[in-house]
Structure 1
């Protein structure tokens, strides 16, 4: 199970939040398409003006993670940005490796907000995959539209069959030939039909019963189980909501990923405002080891800082599970104090560091961070990303506003969000070998030269006018120094 390595190669969005259509190709897209292997360090930063689709990409990946896990998509979080009328679609291209096997996988899902039930419906799913020999070959496709969402007279009219150009290859796969119960359970739980614990368990049980030799059964099991395992153990999304918890001094979300030869711990352990956190007793020894690993890394970033745990007590909760209560301290220059008193930037680094270490060392890890630069000193951030680009084995996808990073990464590592909702993401073009990427980006903002506009400066001239009007909202005739353009705007407003 631990031998799965997954890499995200491409994301495509339709009718999602403020993105009518957008495509992001990550660093190894071309290498995998042509050569079937990962060849490049996989860091991609998304840059653009506020409201231009950066966070939308992170949110789409978070939704993907929930789908692959076989869990429900949060209505409270995403109802406002998943379309009710024009179906939202998300497509992702993956590379999956297991031992000597390689699969290129494209998964496309159609979503719709269901206001009546206050749920997000997974309407349609399409899975295409190819295995690797001397080239990508043997395409297989599976398409299923769940009729339980749209059909009131389900018993009379429901089409519960899998659609495929290659159905003859799936004739021995039991769950694909009996979809009625699975479709109903999936619709009731608002979860994926394919990335579904029942479907994967059915494949596993069939393997045990029949001692599999069918390559199609093995391939489908590896794909469904491998992507679900990737989402559970190695696909980490840090959304901007964590910043609010840090900034309010409410808690420090300690994002942990730590692997040994026999186990993986990953997840977010909240260290609350009093510095105390609760760690499951079953993983406490691994948690201590993970903190030791963080301390090794943190020395190079923040000299003289170390994190210390103080075990307070053990407790058993109503569900019978045992936890260890710990206080978390910072120790610097011989002084020891609760970590809650650190600056927001240091708490942010502590929060992210275990995930960054895991992405640096583990090719199976994909880390997605919204607003990576928040609270972190720009020079330090640039140096940190520069080092990650040299040796990182995993994948890092981040959004940022800090332009210092552009001086440390190659322009090919940068995706620009645009003001065109029908073409939200582009790569910089025309960058010369001697160009400073930061200066080139700013030049592109101000005078253009890219395939799409990166910044909407149409209303910049009216900022002063708007501020003056806001300062005198009730006064109709204000003696202000106005430009010719502003006077024309006023005239248009009156008309």
Structure 2
């Protein structure tokens, strides 16, 4: 078994999540992996569209996927976007490469909300994979539906096995044919039956035949991808930054044998505590951020000021630190920086990792929020030309359309049954920004990108809101009016 894995998301499919009944996105290397068995294109994809049209739903689906691959329960915070009427299903196609082998994998997870115990249940999972030789061959499929979620009496159940069209080829993976205990444990923990430490440890002890090695590589590769290389930054982080409360410093460092990740949340106004064992990692992250920051905002650097060392109640040593900005040799509290600069700094180390490492996938919701559009366009233009990893982002800023190719842009539609499309009819001499605006107003695409009825409804709503009959009369107490009169 190989311990070094490079994983790439090839395709995302969403069924009945939030406002998406069906949506499918193929990423930049989907075609080359299927035909040539390799990822040979830079992989930047931007999602554009009107508010409430499925952009954030994609980010949330990838965040759910991350929890599943890590072998963790899906936080109940996601319950509100999982359908109660239809079957929520997320399907992801992956490309996995090791030193010796290449795999194409399709993983599907079926979800359900149990409101009584406030848990999200993983009720069914399918895993299909192919090994690359001269072409994609040796297809294997595994389908498991966990009946423990619906069982009245667990003791009456028969032994559980997976469904597979290739069962004879998978006999060397013993736990697949004795799933009773594993399925029960996973249902109690609300985690995946494929991606968990029990299966991971079992893979290490399996016989070293080809089927066992392939299965083990896939499980370990995807678990490592979820734990280390798939980084999802949702809009909640932006809310913390905009409120001038905290800034998350996302760190990652790579050596020949190890990958270290850290995420430290620093108070923007006031002291923060950092464990002594994490302090060196945080300072390395800030050094990396400052190196890249010079090219983006030349006169800006950030600095940690260590004010004290103390012992925490658990006996661990920690430091108290403040975060500062330095401009032109002058140092001042970081809270006075703009929202855009705080946003850039919070994700910059992840962008550095995606730029340099082919295994990293960075997913960012509202990447453009607060960032100067020209700067953002130049930054994404650089990523588009030279990035080794994968970047998936949502945005409203149309400047980016001028820096990316048309195939790098996914448009959301007004049709919940077909939420994501690429624009057609764009020629090389077209200005993609103007073309997109024209498509919004005139159409000409496979689906409508904007509902013109919204504009009519907007005008009607504004007129109605301004009708004197709808206005609210404010009444003040006599004491308030008397105090107001004295003040004036």
Q: Tell me the TM-score normalized by structure 2.
A: 0.93
Change beyond 3 A, Cα 1:354–1:2? farther
Distance in 1 of aligned mates of 2:238 and 2:136 = 42
Distance in 2 of aligned mates of 1:234 and 1:280 = 24
Q: Name the count of aligned residue pairs.
A: 470
Change beyond 3 A, Cα 1:120–1:462? closer
Counterpart in the other structure of 1:100: 100
Counterpart in the other structure of 2:45: 44
User: 2:146 matched to 1:146?
Assistant: yes
- 8 A contact 2:159–2:180 mirrored in 1: no
Distance in 1 of aligned mates of 2:366 and 2:46 = 10
Change beyond 3 A, Cα 1:52–1:159? farther
Pick aligned residue for 1:388 from 383, 397, 420: 383
Counterpart in the other structure of 2:309: 314
Distance in 2 of aligned mates of 1:221 and 1:191 = 18
Aligned-pair distance for 1:322?
3.6
User: 2:302 matched to 1:301?
Assistant: no
Q: Secondary structure of the residue that 2:244 maps to in structure 1?
A: coil
Counterpart in the other structure of 1:67: 68
Distance in 1 of aligned mates of 2:34 and 2:165 = 22
Structure 1 unpaired stretches of 5+: 477-495
Aligned-pair distance for 1:262?
3.5
Counterpart in the other structure of 2:8: 7
Distance in 1 of aligned mates of 2:315 and 2:197 = 25
RMSD: 1.6
Aligned-pair distance for 1:85?
3.0
Distance in 1 of aligned mates of 2:26 and 2:232 = 18
Aligned-pair distance for 1:362?
0.6
Distance in 2 of aligned mates of 1:319 and 1:455 = 55
Distance in 2 of aligned mates of 1:452 and 1:343 = 38
User: 2:454 matched to 1:459?
Assistant: yes
Change beyond 3 A, Cα 1:235–1:321? farther
User: 2:22 matched to 1:27?
Assistant: no
Counterpart in the other structure of 1:254: 249
Q: Secondary structure of the residue that 2:353 maps to in structure 1?
A: helix
Change beyond 3 A, Cα 1:202–1:270? same
Change beyond 3 A, Cα 1:431–1:168? same
Distance in 2 of aligned mates of 1:200 and 1:367 = 25
Please give the per-residue CA displacement for 1:453-495, whole angstroms capped at 9, x wherever unaligned.
Answer: 000011313433321211226369xxxxxxxxxxxxxxxxxxx
Aligned-pair distance for 1:319?
4.1
Please give the per-residue CA displacement for 1:372-414, whole angstroms capped at 9, x wherever unaligned.
Answer: 0000000100011001111100000000000000000001000
Distance in 1 of aligned mates of 2:317 and 2:178 = 41
Q: Secondary structure of the residue that 1:375 maps to in structure 2?
A: coil
Counterpart in the other structure of 1:130: 130
Distance in 2 of aligned mates of 1:176 and 1:47 = 42
- 8 A contact 2:250–2:347 mirrored in 1: yes
User: 2:112 matched to 1:117?
Assistant: no
Aligned-pair distance for 1:159?
5.8
- 8 A contact 1:344–1:375 mirrored in 2: yes
Q: Tell me the TM-score normalized by structure 1.
A: 0.92
Q: Secondary structure of the residue that 2:81 maps to in structure 1?
A: coil
Aligned-pair distance for 1:284?
2.5
Change beyond 3 A, Cα 1:401–1:273? same
Distance in 1 of aligned mates of 2:12 and 2:349 = 26
Counterpart in the other structure of 1:376: 371
Distance in 2 of aligned mates of 1:341 and 1:462 = 40
Pick aligned residue for 2:269 from 256, 271, 274: 274
